[in-house]
């Protein structure tokens, strides 16, 4: 069984989608959900879906090796960043495979401060014709690492940050769990 730990800071719609996707999977288990925000809605989602969820402090992640040791103890195979807003320290990237989803076509609209509505607002303000999602391996820089998948959507006349966010959300729901599955199974998908 391959084990996933999901890190999320907010609503957790991606986390929920991933949990549901792997609920009855023969060879992948969502071991646990981890958040740095004690009021993150992802905690409620995890509880409803019977997945262990934990709040951790930035210190437990950055200054001590508490979180790292916990992931090792659990024999986590993949760390999934699903709306996780802190920079994951290098020590995690050295020890574990880590994947992230970004709501734009990197390298455009990535980097510090480019998250959530900020991304969609910038894309619309620049009159882009398309946007999309990037699912990528994580290295030591924000929104860097090897791209695994990009999926695009068109930006229509009159598009708003909210309507674009809804399109991006659909792409995230469709592609993220399958990308994680491929990564864990190491089998390239043909279509």
Give residues in contact with ligand GRF (CB under 6 A).
8, 10-15, 82-83, 101-103, 172
E strands in 115-188: 130-137, 147-154
Known active-site residue 54: no
Count other Cβ atoms within 10 Å, centred on residue 25.
Answer: 15
If the CB atoms of residues 2 and 167 are measured against ligand GRF, the closer one turns out to be 167
CA 86 to mean position of chain CA atoms: 12
Six-digit token string for 119: 């991304």
In whole angstroms, how close is the CB of 9 to ligand GRF at the nearest point? Answer: 7
If the CB atoms of residues 39 and 186 are measured against ligand GRF, the closer one turns out to be 39
Residue 5 to residues 43, 50, 52, 54, Cα–Cα distance (Å): 14, 14, 10, 11
If the CB atoms of residues 76 and 119 are measured against ligand GRF, the closer one turns out to be 119
DSSP-assigned beta bridge partners for residue 154: 130
**87 DSSP 8-state letter:** P
If the CB atoms of residues 79 and 101 are measured against ligand GRF, the closer one turns out to be 101
Helices (H) and strands (E) in the chain, counts: 7, 7
In whole angstroms, how close is the CB of 153 to ligand GRF at the nearest point? Answer: 13
Six-digit token string for 129: 């014709």
Exactly one of 24, 25, 102, 169 is catalytic; name it.
Answer: 102
- Of all residues in this chain, which one has the CB nearest to ligand GRF in the complex? 83
Q: What residues act catalytically?
A: 102
């Amino acid at each position: 069984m391959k084990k996933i730990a999901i890190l999320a800071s907010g609503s957790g719609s991606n986390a929920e989608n991933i949990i549901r996707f792997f609920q009855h999977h023969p060879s992948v288990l969502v071991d646990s959900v981890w958040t740095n925000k004690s009021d993150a809605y992802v905690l409620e989602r995890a509880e409803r879906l019977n997945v262990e969820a934990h709040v951790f402090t930035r210190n437990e992640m950055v200054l001590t090796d508490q979180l790292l040791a916990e992931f090792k103890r659990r024999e986590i195979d993949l760390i999934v960043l699903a709306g996780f807003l802190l920079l994951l320290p290098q020590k995690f990237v050295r020890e574990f495979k880590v994947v992230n989803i970004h709501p734009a076509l990197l390298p455009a609209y990535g980097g510090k401060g480019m998250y959530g509505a900020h991304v969609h607002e910038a894309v619309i303000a620049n009159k882009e014709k398309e946007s999309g999602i990037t699912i990528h391996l994580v290295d030591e820089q924000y929104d860097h690492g090897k791209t695994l998948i990009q999926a695009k959507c068109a930006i229509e006349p009159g598009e708003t940050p909210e309507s674009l966010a809804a399109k991006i959300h659909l792409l995230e729901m469709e592609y993220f769990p399958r990308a994680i599955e491929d990564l864990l199974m190491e089998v390239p998908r043909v279509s």
